[in-house]
Structure 1
Amino acid sequence: MFFELIATFAAGIAAAGLALIAGHLSGGRLPRWLTPVLAGAAMLGYAIWSEYSWAARTTQALPEGVEVLLTVEETKLWKPWTYVIPQTTRIMALDRASVQTNPDAPGIVLADLYFFARWTPPAKRPQLVDCANAARADVSAAALSNPSDAAWRRAGKDDPLMEALCTS
């Protein structure tokens, strides 16, 4: 976040510098208010670009085998442009390399989910998935030793995790 703040200021300073150079080259015919307006527009433009490109930059940085299952787009009152083009603010990804099965618990799959949200550190949440019953549960010590002790939640067939792990 700190580096993005620095980059925002740098964009404003660069735009102001270009406006000052253009004003000098035009022999002073450009209005003086143009410099702060261009600096502010550059800062706002960079901030908007940074917000909208966050999801693409995050997904491109994911390692091989990590698959994006779900993206959440939101609109915010204080960001009126998001009503025109909603902004992706959260991502759920599945680490395919972490998928495991247990011969003692047939039909139960263990997988790691990663949750990414703008301005928050990523979170890893292991999940148990019961494809036969279309259910999922957070992993706990009790659930790992005996999957019937897990706190199972129903998941619809359109659940992205069910679709990724249970369709063959």
Structure 2
Amino acid sequence: MYVFIFTTVVIGFAAAGVIMLLFRLLGRKVPKYVIPFTAAIAMFCYMIWDEYSWFDRYASRLPDTVIITQTFADENVFAPWTLITAPINRFTAVDREKVVINPQAPDEKRVTTLLLKKGSTTLALTHLVNCTTGKRGYITDQTSLDQSGFPTAIDEWFDLKPDDPLRAAVCG
């Protein structure tokens, strides 16, 4: 967040500096309103560029083993351009290399889902996915585990649709 603010301010100063240099090279005096207007427009353009390119830049840095299962785009009334086409500002991902198969029940797989959001810390959730029944359950700190690290019982199971992206990434 601080890097974004710092970069935005630097972009504003750089744009203002370029305009001052151009006017000086032309031998003209800069009108008072041009410098702040140029800085504001440059910062505004940078903020929009950063908002719309964040997902592509972040996803390109992920290893090949990481599969992005879902993306989410939020509209914001205070940013009216998002009402036309909303930028992707959060997504979920699964690292296929870190999927662990239960030795006692090969149709059960333990997987960690990463929830990433622009400007927030990454959240990791561990699931147990049963590929045969199409159900998943959360593994929390309170879940009792056996010797191989799989839960002995899960309190609540959730149904996964056949086309669920998590099910496709883990079981496919």
Instruction: Please give the TM-score of this superposition, normalised by the length of structure 1.
Output: 0.90
Residue 145 (1) aligns with residue 151 (2):
yes
Deviation, 1:29, is 6.2
Identical-residue share of aligned pairs (%): 30
Per-residue deviation, residues 37-65 of structure 1 (Å, max 9, x unmatched): 11100011111111111111221222341
In structure 1, the gaps of 5 or more residues are none
Question: Matched residue of 1:120: which SS?
Answer: coil
Which amino acid in 2 is paired with 1:12? G
Q: In the aligned structure 1, how far is the partner of 2:29 from the partner of 2:8?
A: 28
Give the aligned CA root-mean-square deviation in angstroms: 1.7
Instruction: Determine the structure 2 residue equivalent to 1:166.
Output: 171
The residue identity in structure 2 corresponding to 1:11 is: I
- Give me the whole-angstrom Cα distance separating, in 2, the residues matched to 1:150 and 1:67: 28
List aligned pairs for 1:1-168, cutoff 5 A: 1-28=1-28, 31-140=31-140, 141-142=143-144, 144-147=150-153, 149-167=154-172
Q: Which whole-Å CA distance do the structure 1 matches of 2:90 and 2:60 have between them? A: 15
SS in 1 for 2:100: strand
Residue by residue over 1:105-133, the C-alpha shift from the partner in whole angstroms, topping out at 9 and shown as x without a partner, is 23111111111011111111111111222
Give, in angstroms, the shift of residue 21 of structure 1.
1.4
Q: Which of the two has greater strand per residue? A: 1
Q: Is the 8 A contact 2:99 2:111 kept in 1?
A: yes
Say which SS state the counterpart of residue 104 (structure 1) adopts: coil
- Spell out structure 1 runs of 4+ moving beyond 6 A: none
Q: Is the 8 A contact 2:67 2:169 kept in 1?
A: no
Residue 62 of structure 1 aligns to a residue whose secondary structure is coil
- TM score, norm. by length of structure 2: 0.88
Which amino acid in structure 1 is aligned with residue 160 of structure 2?
A
CA contact (8 A) 1:142 1:150 kept: no
Q: 1:76, 1:83 within 8 Å by CA — same for their partners in 2?
A: yes
